[in-house]
Structure 1
Amino acid sequence: MYLVERYMKILKGYNKNPHRPEASIVERYIAVEAVEFCLDYMSKAKLVGIPKSRHEDRYEGKGTKGQKVKFILRKELLQAHLYILNNTEAVLVYISENQDFLKKNNPRMNEKSLVNEHNKTFLKWFKEKVFSDDSFSNTLKCLTNEPKYNVFTYTGYDINNFSFYTKSQDDNSTMQNSGVTLQAQSMHFSSRNDKNLVVTSTSYYGVIEDIWEISYGAFKVLVFKCKWVDINIGVRTDEMRFTMVDLSKVGHKDEPFIMANQATQVFYVKDPIDERWSVVLQDRSVHNFDDSTAQFWESLSFSTRMPTNNKEIEQDDVHATRNDHDEGI
């Protein structure tokens, strides 16, 4: 009874015309109901406008082209395995522990030799460390074992809101999707004889050769096998501060792998003056292309500044005026 009386009070508040109270209440009631219905409907409706890209929200990843099973040689697989360990957060503390252990036991060993010794011994040391203590997580225990030699390979994979292709797939496609860059902390030695290690933040540029889904049993890790441009002789910045790369200058052959979730897509546009060099562009202007749809966004480059043109815009009527005759319009 209380609810009815309360609702009657609400309806009474709808009366804005004392000469036509019933009609006024009904009209206001219909208006309120219509607005509430529209708000509820619109909250569940899709927005009208540019269609949503099929690559959006694909952060976890999905294979799109050329799935196959491939047998990988042990040497190459362990190379990818070591990279995964060096870039897994739960393993980093043990990497530091192993490095400290090597320094303590080899006080006269230089930095370059310590890095090489770490790469040679870490896999065995890490496995012994984990299996000596039952408190380690199942993830770490899986990572101590060598991954399976049969891996799923793809020629196309969507991840990080990008659609990545291998270079071989790119050669058969109308789009370029194999370019990749990685911002990484890298360790350098200035020469073969240099023993002093220098750690810097460096941008690497390359193309994807293979896409591997490496299985550890309980989980899988996606990696890109890339052909990297030698940053010493194949990367430069031109006078307009655009990043330029020479894709024929291949380097870093001992470290071809990156984890797919680290990758950012880039695109290479040949320099019309010198075709050996290509301009690096980031953020694809075409995210999705097939026979029926093309979606366009503005493309951004790696240049930190763009040239400005201060000339006034010419008026069309002046630009198109002829002065070789006196005919009227």
Structure 2
Amino acid sequence: MELIFLEHQVLHILNMIMKKWIYKKELENEGCPNVQKTLEKQFSRWFKKHITKLCYVDRQDINDELFALSCEPDLRVRIYSACLVNGVRFHNVDREKNRRTQNSGIMVEGTHDNQEIDFYGSLKEIIEIRYNADSSGDRTVVLFRCDWFDTHGKKFRMKEDGFFKSINHGSLWYKDDPFILATQATKVFYLLDTKYHEKWRVVQKFSHKHLWSVAENDNEDIPNAVVLSYQDNDCEGVHVQLTEGCLENDQPVSEGGFRVDANVVDDLRTQREAEGQQDESGDSEDETGWQYVSDNEGPTFPLEDDDDSDYE
């Protein structure tokens, strides 16, 4: 079971570079009846053989990171309950139970039925995979395992009223494709929808401006802090910091439960509808707000200490 789980993780990482190689074209030229299924089952093995041939037979110069990727990762993985991605904190759903903050909401761009859409979900696990290291340090990749909420089903289609997006937490999809790179994730918040109730939640996106992390205890140090870099070009300059230690060593925090008042959503909805009506009645549109949000909002300050406070 663990080997199947790890193979699924490795396949996801290799998919990030699949477009750079010729295996898919080879299958199409061979008349393979199901190219996608064959890719999922055999690409990892083909990739390893292909890189080995280029390196030792063709004597080509192969990037060290690419060669390490083809050698497959260590069978031992580390599971974390929290991490920082460019200063943005993420928790898995188990860690934030009975906490006052919400850091497990995930959004990522993807493709469904050949259309670009946003996938919304919750973070279940933070997984660190290690590859062959060199003298310069560790080679690691961090994955997020997520539950994805079905936003296109007949009964659970995402509801939009021009101001808010509401999704249903009661139905999941893409259960066989739960992994994303940590650097692909965008954090979102879910608020109780007072209009549809039950399992419907309003998705709240936001833009990070200045980030601070204040330690819960003055003398609290970051255990086993690791800064990670990625081989994929899209991830250059992006850093992931694992700050909480492994999950098995993580101690639960006893805190009183806290829920956001549902009236907050109603107040926001009423306020935005009123603003929309006011804008429509005006002679001209004031573009100040659009200019403001599109301007460069300045540098983002990295987090240096552990924190579970509301700083977003």
Question: Could you say whether these structures have the same fold, taking a TM-score greater than 0.5 normalized by the shorter chain as the test?
Answer: yes
Give runs of aligned pairs for residues 45-60 of structure 1, distance below 5 A.
none
Q: Report the equivalent of 1:79.
A: 8
* CA positional deviation for 1:235: 4.4
Secondary structure of the residue aligned to 1:221 is strand
Q: Report the equivalent of 1:236.
A: 158
Q: CA RMSD in A?
A: 2.8
8 A Cα contact 2:151 2:168, kept in partner: no
Which of 64, 78, 84 is equivalent to 1:152?
Answer: 78
Secondary structure of the residue aligned to 1:163 is strand
Higher alpha-carbon Rg: 1
Indicate yes or no: 2:153 matched with 1:226. Answer: no
In 2, Cα distance between the equivalents of 1:187 and 1:81?
Answer: 22
In 2, Cα distance between the equivalents of 1:291 and 1:235?
Answer: 40
Higher normalized contact order (CA 8 Å, seq sep 6+, divided by chain length): 2
Which of 270, 275, 292 is equivalent to 2:192?
Answer: 270
TM-score (ref. length: structure 2): 0.62
Task: Assess, with a 3 A threshold, how the Cα gap between structure 1 residues 119 and 253 changes in structure 2: closer, same or farther.
Answer: same
Secondary structure of the residue aligned to 2:27 is helix
Secondary structure of the residue aligned to 2:41 is helix
Q: Report the equivalent of 1:18.
A: none
Secondary structure of the residue aligned to 2:116 is strand
* CA positional deviation for 1:287: 6.7
In 2, Cα distance between the equivalents of 1:129 and 1:98?
Answer: 9
Q: Report the equivalent of 2:41.
A: 120
In 2, Cα distance between the equivalents of 1:173 and 1:287?
Answer: 19
Which of 5, 10, 28 is equivalent to 1:103?
Answer: 28
Structure 2: unaligned runs, 5 residues or longer: 134-138, 219-268, 279-312
Secondary structure of the residue aligned to 2:177 is coil
Q: Which amino acid aligns with 1:283?
A: F
Indicate yes or no: 2:92 matched with 1:166. Answer: yes
In 1, Cα distance between the equivalents of 2:39 and 2:141?
Answer: 23
Give the aligned length. Answer: 212
In 1, Cα distance between the equivalents of 2:152 and 2:212?
Answer: 32
Task: Assess, with a 3 A threshold, how the Cα gap between structure 1 residues 290 and 308 changes in structure 2: closer, same or farther.
Answer: farther
In 1, Cα distance between the equivalents of 2:202 and 2:13?
Answer: 30
Residues 72-111 of structure 1: per-residue CA shift (max 9 Å, x gap): 81111111111111124xx5311xx11111111016x3xx
* CA positional deviation for 1:145: 2.4
Residues 167-219 of structure 1: per-residue CA shift (max 9 Å, x gap): 001113210000000012x253xxxxxxxxxx221100000100011101220
In 2, Cα distance between the equivalents of 1:130 and 1:266?
Answer: 39
Q: Which amino acid aligns with 1:116?
A: K
Task: Assess, with a 3 A threshold, how the Cα gap between structure 1 residues 264 and 93 changes in structure 2: closer, same or farther.
Answer: same
8 A Cα contact 1:235 1:243, kept in partner: no
Task: Assess, with a 3 A threshold, how the Cα gap between structure 1 residues 148 and 212 changes in structure 2: closer, same or farther.
Answer: same
Q: Report the equivalent of 1:61.
A: none
In 2, Cα distance between the equivalents of 1:282 and 1:116?
Answer: 35
Task: Assess, with a 3 A threshold, how the Cα gap between structure 1 residues 240 and 166 changes in structure 2: closer, same or farther.
Answer: same
Secondary structure of the residue aligned to 2:274 is coil
Secondary structure of the residue aligned to 1:171 is coil
Residues 11-30 of structure 1: per-residue CA shift (max 9 Å, x gap): xxxxxxxxxxxxxxxxxxxx
In 2, Cα distance between the equivalents of 1:235 and 1:142?
Answer: 42
Runs of 4+ in structure 1 deviating by more than 3 angstroms, as ranges, are 284-293
* CA positional deviation for 1:281: 0.6
Indicate yes or no: 2:229 matched with 1:307. Answer: no
Which of 115, 118, 121 is equivalent to 1:206?
Answer: 121
Secondary structure of the residue aligned to 2:54 is coil
8 A Cα contact 2:158 2:165, kept in partner: yes
Task: Assess, with a 3 A threshold, how the Cα gap between structure 1 residues 122 and 155 changes in structure 2: closer, same or farther.
Answer: same
Secondary structure of the residue aligned to 1:216 is strand
Q: Report the equivalent of 1:249.
A: 171
Structure 1: unaligned runs, 5 residues or longer: 1-71, 189-198, 294-302, 312-329
TM-score (ref. length: structure 1): 0.59
* CA positional deviation for 1:160: 2.9
Q: Report the equivalent of 1:16.
A: none
In 1, Cα distance between the equivalents of 2:166 and 2:52?
Answer: 48
Q: Which amino acid aligns with 2:10?
A: H
